Amino acid sequence: MPLKLDVNNRSESFAVVEKVQQHFGTIDILINNAGYALNGAVEEASEQEARAQFETNFFGTLWLTQAVLPIMRKQQSGHIIQVSSILGIATLPIIGLYNASKFAVEGLTETLASEVKQFGINVTLVEPNGYVTDIWGNGFNSESIPAYDGIKKAIAEGHDPDTFGKTSATVPAIIKLVEAENPP
């Protein structure tokens, strides 16, 4: 049942979850994977860009999590999978706001897992490596300050596509995760 959803809109997030629950009767799994990367040094990010980065990557995750929790609590079951990033535990230059948003997802998820285990709800944090996708070149770039050109060039030259994760390996790994009797 495809439904359009802007994860930045809290009320829309709750309304879509309600539609899904009404249609299917239960919600067994939530995978929070919405996100994007703001490219630019920390100093380069405008207030609007910084807030937008957190609205999608952190608050979008929070809104959908909050929307499914009453349903899963009532069911006494469910599995919430929060997709963070390896950059939620280690950082790279020129994507500091993305790093920070993923660190926030990490803290939220670790706390959530301990809060909802008593209700039979599993919470799993997935921290994948980067993928070769449009997330890095999609036009979400801060206005450049020339002082950072050297580090940007060094990072760009150091990217080796062979070191990135494979999207084709992700689906079987997620399926294995959701089918696990005692998921991490």
Give the pLDDT of residue 138.
Answer: 61
84 is catalytic: yes
Nearest to 37 by CA among 94, 86, 85, 95: 95
Q: Does the annotation mark 36 as catalytic?
A: no
Alpha helices in 32-166 (DSSP H): 47-54, 60-75, 96-116, 149-158
**Is 166 among the residues known to form the active site?**
no
Q: How far is CA 41 from the centre of its chain?
A: 21
What pTM was computed for the model? 0.91
Nearest CA among 152, 131, 158 for reference residue 42: 152
Active-site residue, selected from the candidate residues 98, 101, 142, 148 = 98
**Tally of residues, the chain:** 184
Q: Can you give the pLDDT at residue 136? A: 58
d(CA 89, CA 62): 19
Q: Which domains does the chain have, with CATH numbers?
A: 10-14+21-169 (3.40.50.720)
Asked whether the CA dihedral 127, 111, 175, 83 is positive or negative, the reply is: negative
**Residue 174: enclosing H or E segment and its boundaries?**
helix 167-179
- pLDDT (tens, 9 = 90+) of the chain, 184 residues, equals 999 999 999 999 999 999 999 999 999 999 999 888 899 999 999 999 999 999 999 999 999 999 999 999 999 999 999 999 888 888 888 999 999 999 999 999 999 999 999 999 999 999 887 766 666 556 688 989 999 999 988 887 877 777 777 778 888 999 999 999 999 9
The catalytic residue among 13, 85, 101, 102 is 102
